[in-house]
Structure 1
Amino acid sequence: MDTRFPFVDWFRNSSPYINAHRGRTFVILIEGEAMARGRGEQLIQDLALLHTLGVRLVVVFGIRPQVEQALAEAKIVPQRHNGRWVADEAIMTCVERVAAEQRLWLEARLSLGLPNTPLHGVELTAVSGNLVMAKPLGVREGVDYDHSGEVRRVRVSAVQGLLDRGSLVLLPPLGFSSTGEVFDLDAAEVAQHAAMALAADKLILLGEAAGLYDENGAMQRQLTPDEAEPLLNQAEPGSEQARHIAAACAAARNGVARTHLLSWHDHDALLGELFTRDGVGTMITRHRYEQLRPAELGDIGGLLELLEPLERRGMLVPRSRERLEHEIDDYLVIERDGMVIGCAALHRFAEAEMGELACLAIHVDYRGGARGSLLLSGIERRARRLGLASLFVLTTHTAHWFVEHGFRPADIESLPPLRRDTYNHARKSKILVKPLA
């Protein structure tokens, strides 16, 4: 196979995502550390590419390290409580100046169109303004937070109008009140409320960490809000991790389909998460995007595609479309982002109180995990609900796996009479049985 241009295969495989993302609304938070550490140029190129591909973009930018540097230069030591500083007049002067400078820098870079630059030929209009309304945090636990505030609302119709005209919307971590005041806001909170108000298809949070990890250090690719809450409780109050998890969980519970936690340190993170099936970071979603569920007629095409390589190798008995349609209610599938990556069937022999575990298959790219065990557990639960006393399986290649999962070798006399009569002696499949009691 010619591999001179490996990006061509990647580009072909990304086409379903290009189509899926076109016309969708993404809210993307870029923490200030990314700009401070020189990652701004690459991220802007990625934003321009997304814009070119038809994604409606709202970009929220953080300014914490830049403000901290400005405060240090001015010899101002801010008062901090619960991860927020008390934004008095001196601090707000720095905040407003830095926010304006950062916004102007972003607008300038998004306007770059020289022939030797990645943005050449891209007509990109970046717009900011008084699009986020805020209110003061007020006095909490005896501390007056002065001009530190929280989001009251996002001016949805104004933002939608800008997006409808093809603009990229920039939101600084500032909010405005009906009394004409300006408030310092948490950038993650701004991104969360913007995503919720716009019913965004995605909220993307670019921070230090590559995602969320369990107690063993393993990356958690997908979590529900309930599963992420313990990590929030363990995080230091006011830390970036705490702010991002809180924003992601709130967004997921309030209509945002998917929130992605990525690292700006990884140059490929943004595009890798959006244009590959498995992504690179952690996704928090109210409904799991990899799920075990009963099969439906619409899964037939995916089942045929999954089973064909195994049938060709003689590991499975060939099944026609008609047979699958007739037996579809017997099947469970694992669906991952719209793709059938695993399946198993339970064929019931009620008179013998037995069930046949059949057609257990996992896509070649998703083996090595616990998906086979997940399918087996699902089949066992279904068998118990049906009142079956045991499961049997016929296999030519994977007898050891079934033994490891509680099956024991048996002979043909152990099969129900109907299955005994149809046993294919030419295949010489091994027979294994597992009691369900």
Structure 2
Amino acid sequence: MVLKTFGWSFAVTAIGLALAVLYGGWAAFGLVAILSILEISLSFDNAVVNAGVLKKMSEFWQKIFLTIGILIAVFGMRLVFPVVIVAITAQIGPIEAVDLALNNHERYEELVTDAHPSIAAFGGIFLLMIFLDFIFEDRDIKWLGWLERPLAKLGKVDMLSACVALIVLLVASATVAVHAHQYGGVHVDKSATVLTAGIAGLITYMVVGGLSGFFEDKLEEEEEREQEAEEEARKSGKPVSAAKLVGKAAFFMFLYLEVLDASFSFDGVIGAFAVSNDPVVIALGLGIGAMYVRSLTVYLVRQGTLDDYVYLEHGAHYAIGALAAILLITIQYEINEVITGGIGVLLIAASFWSSIRRNKREALEGDSDSSDSSGPSGSSGSGDKAEVPSGV
């Protein structure tokens, strides 16, 4: 299972590190290795959330996620996206932007850093919406019940998530955006830019997430109708197919996953410049890390980890909320990537540990109920209850 799921990741690692040596020697090898670890640590919560969506998709679309999806993630977000940002913000042509990326690393880094406020606002609001929609939903399983129960009651108010996100955006544009951090340690007023980018992030979430949810609901309705139609099909001998609808549903969920991955990659792309300003080195390092994140996503789905450790998804969404807040704060203040990645890892580790404790507690309660329901002769309902072992 491990080799089948992570085989491509191992291959990409070997090829990426070999290319790093050929490109820049052993120094580039070390930088690529560091960037790979950075990407994995920053995006572990991404894998958990992706797994929650991917488990609803067929094995075919899981393979698409690992093939076409990884091309989008590596070449699109880790290589092309920074160049596009440079071209837009500096108002230069794409060819000139590519020339800067390859031949003037310092100027390229400067332009990407100056574009950080708009990137952080877009990604921060997008991720904040994911967190808010999760925390305001009334769920059967609650991790931090003292917090999640009252928030679930508040979540009954229509459009509450969007209202909260807009309030956060207005506060950010009036505070941290007024003294936005730029290359060289200077600060400028980026209020209008942050406000526009944040609204764009909100619109993107509502459009892509809305379409994904719509087709997912359609898919569930079709599956219910298909079960009823199958009984009639057995009598008439006519096949029943819902392939077209399944394709639409899976496509929009795939699109949602790609936009989600893009938002998660913002902090990694920007943070990578603290390690290297060479776009080739950054693309190799983050690309290797992104491959492992995708393989980990599929592994979690196939192993049923989210079903076994029920609080993992909660921990990942809390990590998303923390990342959204950090992205908005970094509009003005620099925050070390170790802190960003560490918070996410700690939250997921805490949720994993809570899941283990829950599973042990339920197992003990199950053993206790089993003992209580059987008499000395093994019959239930009558006779003295068997003694519960000490320590339970």
TM score, norm. by length of structure 2: 0.24
Higher helix share: 2
Between structure 1 and structure 2, the one with the greater Rg is 1
TM score, norm. by length of structure 1: 0.22
Higher RCO structure, 1 or 2 (CA under 8 Å, sep 6+): 2
Higher strand share: 1
